Amino acid sequence: MQDIEKLIIIGSGPAGWTAAIYAARANLNPICYIGVPRQNPAPVLPGGQLMLTTEVENYPGFPEGITGPEMMQQFQKQAERFGTRIVGQDIQSCNFSTHPFELTTSKGDVAKAHAVIIATGATANWIGLENELRLATTGGGVSACAVCDGALPVFRDQHLAVVGGGDTAMEESAFLAKFASKVTIIHRRDQLRASKIMQKHTLDLPNVEVAWNKTVVDVIGDEKIEAVLLKDTVTGDESSLEVKGLFVAIGHTPATDFLEGAGIDFDDKGYVSLLTRNSQTNIEGVFAAGDVADQEYRQAVTAAGMGCQAAMDAERWLTEKGFG
Ligand code: NAP
């Protein structure tokens, strides 16, 4: 008979690995499905968004900073040290209408588990330009997270650009304006989507300006960004803007395709909904942690905290139901 796992964790970012560390130490003998690398259109790698981040300077415990990939390697090592088993496959679909739950992998295998933690994260949306993605993955000054990368010395006292007109673009611009000489928000319309209060807070800053009705059609620079090529959405005119950093803030997409038809409740933006005050989803025994269930904070440290909560919630639930 096929083994029934106590706990399967899907995802291998800070939330997934932290859940694995806690679950392994609680003798739940977890299996972590870490996924397989793919392009979407930027690379999506096991380890999640931190695999595309150069320096992480805001995770407590690393006073000198650490690279995103190195940090994820350390998380993984720590999870393995306590016996987490790792499978390099994607989960492609879930059947939560039966118990034990059944998860089908990309190879067509079916894994069974009493409890599941969903920690598949969210991917930043990119404009999709070849040079944008190239410079984003090589530390060339293009990033999808100003809070993660914006305070790096290379961006200090420089002219930087932010693409997007939502609350994230406002928040990231205000954050960058603390270090940059100037921040230009590039927005494709003549009105921002952001809340009025965040618009005001950001646009009132003396070193923030908006390039209205503009889209980025190319990013110029070999090893480091030197400029962006803009196209006016009204006149079609092209112009160039010299910048030393480009921050793309055009939303995120939670990685939930594999949950289609599985009965999980989502919020209006497609993120997994959690019951109040814990990591429990609407399906008993299925928990979620990290960016897949959090469109607001999206930080490595908050994702790790949620992973810890999910493992503790799963352990309690398994014990209560006699599966622990
Ligand atoms: P968002 O509200 O969906 O805004 C995305 C922005 O990017 C929009 O202005 C959109 O333009 C633009 N955009 C989308 N695709 C584009 C493309 N291909 N090229 C150029 N521009 C593009 O996303 P968000 O700003 O990340 O916010 C997500 C959610 O988090 C929102 O509910 C927001 O309120 C919330 N949030 C709250 C806070 C806070 O309260 N502190 C902070 C951050 C985020 P259009 O406007 O033309 O569609």
Q: Do residues 138 and 234 both lie within one domain?
A: yes
Ligand 1 neighbour 165 (Cβ under 6 A): yes
Counted domains in the chain: 2
Are residues 314 and 7 in contact, defined by beta-carbon separation less than 8 angstroms? yes
Q: Do residues 236 and 164 both lie within one domain?
A: yes
Structure pTM? 0.83
Catalytic residue among 90, 148, 167, 308: 148
Ligand 1 neighbour 167 (Cβ under 6 A): yes
Q: Where are the alpha helices (DSSP H) in 153-259?
A: 167-177, 196-203
- Final residue of a domain: which of 194, 223, 248? 248
Report the nearest-CA residue for atom 17 of ligand 1. Answer: 127
Q: Do residues 224 and 137 both lie within one domain?
A: yes
Q: Is 218 labeled as catalytic in the residue annotation?
A: no
pLDDT of residue 324: 78
Give dist(CA 324, CA 315) in Å, integer. Answer: 7
pLDDT of residue 87: 96
Are residues 180 and 157 in contact, defined by beta-carbon separation less than 8 angstroms? yes
Contacts for 298 with CB less than 8 Å, ≥ 6 apart: 122, 145, 252, 291
The residue whose CB lies within 8 Å of the most ligand 1 atoms, and thus the one to mutate among 168, 229, 253, 271, is 168
pLDDT of residue 61: 96
- Final residue of a domain: which of 217, 248, 279? 248
Catalytic residue among 145, 167, 291, 294: 145
Single-letter residue type at 279: S
Report the nearest-CA residue for atom 28 of ligand 1. Answer: 251
Ligand 1 neighbour 164 (Cβ under 6 A): yes
CA angle 183, 188, 192 (to 5 degrees): 70
Q: Do residues 181 and 235 both lie within one domain?
A: yes
Ligand 1 neighbour 324 (Cβ under 6 A): no
The residue whose CB lies within 8 Å of the most ligand 1 atoms, and thus the one to mutate among 127, 193, 267, 302, is 193
Query: In a structure prediction context, what are the per-residue pLDDT tens digits for the chain, which is 324 residues long?
Result: 469 999 999 999 999 999 999 999 999 999 999 999 877 666 788 888 888 676 788 899 999 999 889 999 999 999 999 999 999 999 999 999 999 999 999 999 999 999 999 999 998 899 999 999 999 988 899 998 888 888 889 999 999 999 999 999 999 999 999 999 999 999 999 999 999 999 999 999 999 999 999 999 999 999 999 999 999 999 999 999 999 999 999 999 999 999 999 999 999 999 999 997 789 999 999 999 999 999 889 899 999 999 999 999 999 999 999 997
Catalytic residue among 32, 90, 94, 149: 149
Q: Do residues 85 and 162 both lie within one domain?
A: no
Q: Is 148 labeled as catalytic in the residue annotation?
A: yes
pLDDT of residue 41: 63
Q: Do residues 142 and 242 both lie within one domain?
A: yes
Q: What is the CATH number of the domain that holds 87?
A: 3.50.50.60
pLDDT of residue 50: 86
Ligand 1 neighbour 173 (Cβ under 6 A): no
**Domain range holding 285?**
4-123+252-320
Q: Do residues 20 and 108 both lie within one domain?
A: yes
Report the nearest-CA residue for atom 2 of ligand 1. Answer: 166
Give the HSE-up count for residue 151: Cα atoms under 13 Å, Cβ half-sphere. 8
Are residues 5 and 324 in contact, defined by beta-carbon separation less than 8 angstroms? no
Q: Is 145 labeled as catalytic in the residue annotation?
A: yes
Are residues 292 and 269 in contact, defined by beta-carbon separation less than 8 angstroms? no
The angle, 0 to 180 degrees and rounded to 10, between the axes of the packed helices 14-25 and 300-320 is 40
